Structure 1
Amino acid sequence: MSKAEFYEQVGVAMTCRSYGEYERMFLLEDNFLKKGKILDVAAGASSFIAEANKRGYDAVAVDPLYDLTVEQMTLHGQKEMKEATEKLTKNVSFFSWDSYKNLEEHDKIREDAFKTFLNHYKENSIEKRFVAGTLPNLPFDDGTFSLVLFNHFLFLYQEQFDLEFHLRAIQEMIRVTKKGGMIRIYPLVGFKNERYPYLDELMEVLNDENTIVKTTDTTFRFVPAATELLTINKL
């Protein structure tokens, strides 16, 4: 199988990750989760927000899908998970299963995360934890968040979005992050299992007197080349 066939994706898929996966992807630690308000960007149907708030953290999510009703979200999520399972089944040997026992466990984590998300999404009218919004324009004031998390979108879809979009998207996340806050982005590879080709250029542009940008090894393993996360500290 060629690199071009590693994982075929048309359009942007709904991400659906668990709190435990977030911990490993982003190397989350209690000491900086407690520092202030947390934002999960392009969060899709992940259960992180529900679990984070249950643990006493102040967390909100933003995604263009959050204008869907609960019924629409349920049907959309079920369709997305079914399609993802079919794709993974065809390409099991090309993924690293260090973070999962097997495909069955992977799918069970997805299903549980989706159920947890839906239960919390139903309470959104009261909680206001899910905000509809699309990069590169986030509906938040400057310096709102102490921690911004961003998984399985930006660099993953590198063939659909150009360097300018990547730059504007990250600059927007920097805008809504308060001084002393942090942004963490994972993964840094695309669907061909290759590191984003403009990552060094992007980091050079973003690294200035107001930010420190660096890559860090992560403990999460699934896409073989996705061994790093991008960390941005706002000074």
Structure 2
Amino acid sequence: MCKTELYAQSGVAMTCRSYQEYKEMFMLKEGLLSNGRILDIASGASSFTAELNQKGYEAIAVDPLYTLTSEEMYDLGKKEIKIASQKLSQNENLFIWNDYKSLKHHDEIRERSLNQFIESYREDNNKEKYISATLPFLPFDNDTFALVFCNHFLFLYREQFDYKFHLDAINEMIRITQKGGSILIYPLVDFKDGIYPHLNKLIDDISEIGINIKINKTEFRFLPSATNFLTIEK
């Protein structure tokens, strides 16, 4: 029996997530952030990179949308927040609200994150912090980053991207990660709240090239089955 789609999605959405959400999703410890340069992939209008740089870390975000002006990004962000809120309201009882408390609180976080992002994005005149790029090809040298994040993109959109794309995308992340660095990916489910069906194969294929890959528990809760994140250590 097929699972019902919790959240109907066509195309890839732009999200506006906060530093605090990343911290909770990935169970982040401050020490991990201090190891070197940080990259956030498919960052959209999330304020994670802006907040990291404010805290003194060296962080960069990539997203194909970063060819847009700040005004265009802001308009798109406002539109996406409204669309997401409407979709969530239709199945509100299917989600776990421990962390967000309510749909209203969820939307307020999105609004704040969008505003923080736009302020930082507008100041980045030379496009040094916000770089337009699309997986599985990233414009960075080998061994550039100590810590790489990718949330709410891989696995979530598994009906739009095949296994080869997922494997190629992760291999690209491994290429740009420093030896001793880490890649963190969340969630491991799709929009039907089903675990990525090729996860075990992916873990085996990555392990075969001598890379340590493991599934970790997260205390963050929203999608009912999104209880884990993936850690890849180079």
Which residues in structure 2 correspond to 1:79-158 (within 5 Å)?
79-126=79-126, 128-158=128-158
- Equivalent residue number for residue 26 of structure 2: 26
- Equivalent residue number for residue 173 of structure 2: 173
Which amino acid is the alignment partner of residue 192 of structure 2? K
Which amino acid is the alignment partner of residue 83 of structure 1? I
Task: Give SS of 1:125's match.
Answer: coil
How many angstroms does 1:127 deviate by? Answer: 6.7
Measure, in 1, the Cα distance between the counterparts of 2:88 and 2:153.
Answer: 18
How many percent identity over aligned positions?
54
Which amino acid is the alignment partner of residue 6 of structure 1? L
How many angstroms does 1:117 deviate by? Answer: 0.3
Which residues in structure 2 correspond to 1:10-21 (within 5 Å)?
10-21=10-21
Measure, in 2, the Cα distance between the counterparts of 1:144 and 1:118.
Answer: 26
Measure, in 1, the Cα distance between the counterparts of 2:137 and 2:127.
Answer: 23
- Equivalent residue number for residue 7 of structure 2: 7
Task: Give SS of 1:137's match.
Answer: coil
Q: Given the superposition, is the C-alpha separation of residues 189 and 172 from structure 1 closer, same or farther in structure 2, using an over 3 Å criterion?
A: same
Measure, in 2, the Cα distance between the counterparts of 1:159 and 1:207.
Answer: 24
How many angstroms does 1:217 deviate by? Answer: 0.2
Measure, in 2, the Cα distance between the counterparts of 1:219 and 1:110.
Answer: 20
Measure, in 2, the Cα distance between the counterparts of 1:127 and 1:84.
Answer: 28
Which sections of structure 2, spanning at least 5 residues, go unmatched? none
The TM-score normalised by the length of structure 1 is 0.97
The TM-score normalised by the length of structure 2 is 0.97
- Equivalent residue number for residue 230 of structure 1: 230
Deviations 1:69-101 (A, max 9, x none): 111111111111110000001110000111111
Q: May I ask how many residue pairs the two structures share in their alignment?
A: 233
Measure, in 1, the Cα distance between the counterparts of 2:49 and 2:166.
Answer: 24
Deviations 1:108-139 (A, max 9, x none): 00100000000000011157110000000001
Measure, in 1, the Cα distance between the counterparts of 2:210 and 2:116.
Answer: 37
Asked if the contact 2:5/2:193 (under 8 Å) is kept, the reply is no
- Equivalent residue number for residue 188 of structure 1: 188
Structure 1 runs, 4 residues or longer, greater than 3 Å off:
none
- Equivalent residue number for residue 162 of structure 1: 162
Which amino acid is the alignment partner of residue 160 of structure 1? Q
Superposition CA RMSD, Å: 1.1
Deviations 1:153-210 (A, max 9, x none): 0100000000000000000000000000000000000000100000000000001353
Task: Give SS of 1:97's match.
Answer: coil
Which amino acid is the alignment partner of residue 38 of structure 2? I
